[in-house]
Amino acid sequence: MASSCLAGLAVAASGAETVRVPAGTYVPFYARESVKTARGQEDLHRPISVASFALDRRPVTNREYQLFLRAHPEWRKSAVKPIFADAHYLAHWRSDLDFGDDADAERPVTNVSWFAAEAYCRAQGKELPTTDQWEYALADNGRDRDALRQRILTWYGESGAHELPAAKSGVANGFGVQGLAGHVWEWTLDFNSLMSGPDLRGSGQQFCGGASLGASDPNDYASFMRYSMRASLKASYTTKLLGFRCARNEP
Amino acid sequence: MSFAARYDYPLFRRFMFLSLAAVVLWCARAHADPRDVNVNAPIKGQETALLTYAPDVPPPIARTYSTKVVIHLEVKEVEGRLADGVSYTFWTFGGKVPGKFIRVREGDLVEFHLDNHPDNKMPHNIDLHAVIGQGGGAASSLTAPGHSSVFSFKALVPGLYVYHCATAPVAMHVGNGMYGLIYVQPRKALPKVTHEYYVMQGDFYTKGANGQQGLQPFSMEKALAEKPEYVVFNGSVGALTGANALPAKVGDTIRLFVGNGGPNLTSSFHVIGEIFDTVWPEGNTSTPAHDVQTTMIPAGGAAIVEFKINVPGTFLIVDHSLARAFNRGALAQLKATGPENKLVYSGKISDEVYLPEGTGIRVTEQPSGLPAPAASKAERVKLGEIVFKTNCMACHQENGQGIPGAFPPLAMSDYLNSDKTRAIRTVLGGRQGVLTVNGAKYDGVMPAWTLTDEDIANVLSYIYGNWGNSGFEVTPTEVKAARSEAANAK
Amino acid sequence: MTMSMPSMKTMPTPAPMPGMSIYNLSSQWTTQDGAATALASLRGNLVVAAMVYTHCKDVCPLTTERMQQIERALPKSSEGRVRFVLFSMDWMRDLPDRLRVFAAEHHIDRQHWTLFHGDEAAVRELAAAFGISFQRESNGDFQHSIAIFLLDRDGVVVAEEPDLSKPPQALTAKIRRLLGKR
């Protein structure tokens, strides 16, 4: 029992299989800062650089999260403090360590808050990916862009009542990353850095920086939805279709 | 005498000033900004709003004071029927498209709870066009699944308003069905009617073509191009047809609260076979229009239409951009039962072969819907007039005077008044050859008429009842008897 | 950052920390005087707090001013029972030395105020708990949302004022009520 427990901890410590995402650039959906073009207009298409980093190949599963909970009892359902996770935390688990049946083991863990997700990642010596890292991985250097958008829109159109697919299902994209589209929403480290967009809580009162900037591609409904989702969240929130994966920055 | 001398000028001036001041103040009071009145309306008590699914409307509000109304509206993403064999994942306010109908009163304070069901996938918010404030509420209500947002507003202006989700991308949220109506009942409520119904139009953009079976995802390309596959009332093709038609009875007054959620198309709203006695255009409740055939309802807009049912029938409710009505589903029905009124609308009386020249034999086909039999002599005469005007008047003229030398008169006709049975047989079998009527000779051709017993009875009763004739009533039984007698004689 | 190690104990306290208390965060902060401390050290007093940064020329000086207005509006009897706290979101530049300069520039009463510096992770965690959005720009400045928070003696947020366009009368009134309830 102890040895399998330790073995489990070892797996948990090493984390899920990661892929190395090479350095590159991408155009963020919302421009980060106000930069004017030569003609004095807002440049909404400035690419930003992303340094190379390691990203989990797929979302964290129920089984992996259970291993984390064995070692960190303060994050179990019965013990977690409400400031760290709301009343729906692990709502789909039958008890503190019981995520359900074997099929659930390989499904992405959901109903976890930002605090919980970040605690898990730190326990692996990682962190949540930044929004830039996550979006850059999704953008996949523009490979199959229209098909990707359509896949995302189709996922939006599917009822949330269905069972989640296994975390390792889904075709890997050009970077070798799976399940960025069509599985679950995913937490990012700086989900609350959204400074632009029409859906900010409190009508988007921002200070000390650039004006509220428009989207780089108003036809990209798939991305609008993703940013609206992030804007609706607070760090303690959990939802049935919101999971996460971890990333490690290269030194 | 000078003006100043004629009047005690200072007193007069003071009087004029005070009068003018009084008039100005009185005008200001009478035209006090209604928004200010409602901002300051005192709130008495609290109640929970009764919300209804289309096509039902909550009953008119009877209270005469402003209150606090608590509203809980739950967002649910549900898979449902868009058309036969076609399903769609609708995003709904309350579980169905359109969203639940909200009814409050001018001056009410609304405490609004937007609840996003934990099984939902998407974040949602709400913009109610009745709200004066940032985003119509949208800025305060972005809600993640499994959470609620609460905000409050005062209903400052009466009218019928659209509400909808305003989360980016808005066209997709609205395109998936996230719209409904909120009615802010004016202090002076609209007159009572027999039925109030809730109808809301929307356009849907599916990946597959109209009719393609199975679960259809949303098509962003079609939404951007504003080319819907479905344009429907109340969320699906046939939502208000057949067994789901709106029921009514002859004599009812009907009020439709009509909204257009869009996201893109404007509606040319019309009820086939009816005229709107009153239209409150754009959903306003202060300036009605009357006697309107088709009213325009913009996307994100509404209208209140009222009409009285005079005759029974199935009245088609359409967007008069007809391809939408007949090919994309923008068609609903109101089925009215009750007694016919042939005067208002007779139904098809006859089909005629149109002979541009000459008379020849006129063969009439039976009208498709047989009219209800006349219940009294007076009714018979009234119905007979229609038959006369359609069939007989061409030759025998409007007042039965005939044309000398060509067509005998029916007025004060000795030929008719002396023998009722012969008159019946003349209509049934036609008449050829020399004829003396009122002392004058006629030698022409009267065609045989293929009319029902009822119609012949009616037209003869009409003729006998007018122009100084004997006033006989002719019954269908008599006609039937004459008909079989003639048949046996052959 | 040891957010989740069960062996780390918070300061010994007579009563358990409420589940919604900000002091459940175990991040370490450093005061303007260089003292390393956990948030739970603030327990016991009412706390008026905001997240700002010293190089901010926009809303942060106004925030400080509004907090000072609250301070001035409170009765003498409240001294020592209300603590005013500024958390800097600028982990790169707002080190304790810099915080001391800022305090002097703004005539901040060091007896009643504490200014804190935290590392990036601490800032992120606190902003998340407060519901504050922030984003660091390439020139080192920040775009951020703003609010003045009132924490009860156990660190639970009991009021939040995001509208700084007028003096914070509602917050002041609430503090008076809470002080009266001792």
pLDDT per residue over C14-36, tens digit each? 688 999 999 999 999 999 999 99
**What's the structural domain count of chain A?**
1
pLDDT for position C181: 65
Percentage with pLDDT > 70 across chain A: 86
Interface test with B, best of A228, A229, A237, A242 (most B CBs within 10 A): A228
Q: Minimal CA–CA distance to B110: which of B126, B94, B92? A: B126
The answer to whether A193 contacts C59, with C-beta atoms less than 8 Å apart, is: no
pLDDT for position A194: 65
Q: Indicate if the pLDDT at residue A14 is higher than 80.
A: no
Please state, in angstroms and rounded to a whole number, the distance separating the CA atoms of residues A123 and B111. Answer: 44
The answer to whether B172 contacts A225, with C-beta atoms less than 8 Å apart, is: yes
- Is-contact A199 B123, C-beta < 8 A? yes
Condensed to tens digits (0 to 9), the pLDDT of residues A89-100 reads: 999 999 999 999
- Chain A hits for B125, CB-CB cut-off 8 Å, are 199
**Which pLDDT band holds residue A69 (cuts at 50, 70, 90)?**
very high
- Chain A hits for B118, CB-CB cut-off 8 Å, are 88, 91, 239-240
Q: pLDDT digit of tens for each residue in chain B (490 aa)?
A: 555 555 567 787 888 888 887 777 766 655 678 788 888 889 999 999 999 999 999 999 999 999 999 999 999 999 999 999 999 999 999 999 999 999 999 999 999 999 999 999 999 999 999 998 888 888 888 999 999 999 999 999 999 999 999 998 899 999 999 999 999 999 999 999 999 999 999 999 999 999 999 999 999 999 999 999 999 999 999 999 999 999 999 999 999 999 999 999 999 999 999 999 999 999 999 999 999 999 999 999 999 999 999 999 999 999 999 999 988 999 999 999 988 888 888 877 777 666 666 444 455 544 445 557 788 888 899 889 888 888 888 788 888 988 887 889 999 999 999 999 999 999 988 888 888 999 999 887 788 877 888 989 999 999 999 999 999 999 999 999 998 888 887 5
Q: Which residues contact C117 (CB under 8 A, 6 or more apart)?
A: C29, C30, C31, C32, C88, C91, C94, C95, C96, C99
The answer to whether B120 contacts A160, with C-beta atoms less than 8 Å apart, is: yes
Name subunits touching A (3+ CB pairs < 8 A).
Answer: B, C
| d(CA A144, nearest CA chain B) in Å | 17
Report the 10 Å Cβ neighbour count for C141: 20
Please state, in angstroms and rounded to a whole number, the distance separating the CA atoms of residues B304 and B306. Answer: 7
| d(CA A207, nearest CA chain C) in Å | 6
Coil vs helix vs strand at B292 = strand
pLDDT (mean) for A54-75: 96
- Is-contact B363 B449, C-beta < 8 A? no
| d(CA C165, nearest CA chain A) in Å | 12
Sign of CA dihedral A162, A164, A169, A174: positive
pLDDT for position A11: 43
What are the C-alpha distances in Å from B341 to residues B255, B338, B344, B346, B460?
A: 22, 9, 6, 7, 20
pLDDT for position A210: 45
Residues C59, C65, C67: CA angle, nearest 5 degrees: 105
Condensed to tens digits (0 to 9), the pLDDT of residues A100-128 reads: 999 999 999 999 999 999 999 999 999 99
Enumerate the β-bridge partners of residue B10: none
Q: Minimal CA–CA distance to A120: which of A191, A53, A190, A61? A: A61
pLDDT for position B98: 98
pLDDT (mean) for C155-161: 95
Q: Domain range spanning residue A24?
A: 2-249
Report the 10 Å Cβ neighbour count for C110: 12
| d(CA A63, nearest CA chain B) in Å | 22
Cα B312 from chain centroid (whole Å): 13
pLDDT for position C1: 42
Q: What is the 3-state secondary structure (H, E, C) of A174-214?
A: CCCCCCCCCCCEECCCCHHHCCCCCCCHHHHCCECCCCCCC
DSSP-assigned states of every residue in B423-444: HHHHHHH-EEEEEEETTEEEEE
pLDDT for position A113: 97
- Chain A hits for C162, CB-CB cut-off 8 Å, are 202, 205
Please state, in angstroms and rounded to a whole number, the distance separating the CA atoms of residues A46 and A44. Answer: 6
AA identity, residue B485: E
| CATH number, position A46 | 3.90.1580
Percentage with pLDDT > 90 across chain A: 57
**Which pLDDT band holds residue A6 (cuts at 50, 70, 90)?**
very low
Q: What is the 3-state secondary structure (H, E, C) of C84-141?
A: EEEEECCCCCCCHHHHHHHHHHCCCCCCCEEEEECCHHHHHHHHHHHCCCEEECCCCC
The answer to whether C128 contacts A209, with C-beta atoms less than 8 Å apart, is: no
- Is-contact B204 B215, C-beta < 8 A? no
pLDDT for position A1: 43
- Chain C hits for A82, CB-CB cut-off 8 Å, are 19-20
Report the 10 Å Cβ neighbour count for C143: 24
Q: What are phi and psi of B400, to 5 degrees?
A: 70, 20
ipTM of the modeled complex: 0.86
Location of structure tokens 């229609």: B386
The answer to whether B169 contacts A227, with C-beta atoms less than 8 Å apart, is: no
Q: Is any Cβ of chain C less than 8 angstroms from the Cβ of A70?
A: no
Closest residue, chain C, to A120 (C-alpha) = C4
User: How is residue C94 written in tokens?
Assistant: 């707002």
Cross-chain CB nearest to A156 (options B121, B138, B139): B121
Q: Across chain C, what does the average pLDDT equal?
A: 89
Q: Which residues contact B418 (CB under 8 A, 6 or more apart)?
A: none
| d(CA B109, nearest CA chain A) in Å | 21
Q: Is any Cβ of chain C less than 8 angstroms from the Cβ of A10?
A: no
Q: Indicate if the pLDDT at residue C132 is higher than 90.
A: yes
Please state, in angstroms and rounded to a whole number, the distance separating the CA atoms of residues B188 and B286. Answer: 10
**Which pLDDT band holds residue C131 (cuts at 50, 70, 90)?**
very high
- Chain A hits for B167, CB-CB cut-off 8 Å, are 199, 225, 228, 232
User: How is residue A173 written in tokens?
Assistant: 């994209």
The answer to whether A149 contacts B220, with C-beta atoms less than 8 Å apart, is: yes
Q: Indicate if the pLDDT at residue C12 is higher than 90.
A: no
Please state, in angstroms and rounded to a whole number, the distance separating the CA atoms of residues A79 and A89. Answer: 11
Coil vs helix vs strand at B121 = coil
Report the 10 Å Cβ neighbour count for B171: 19
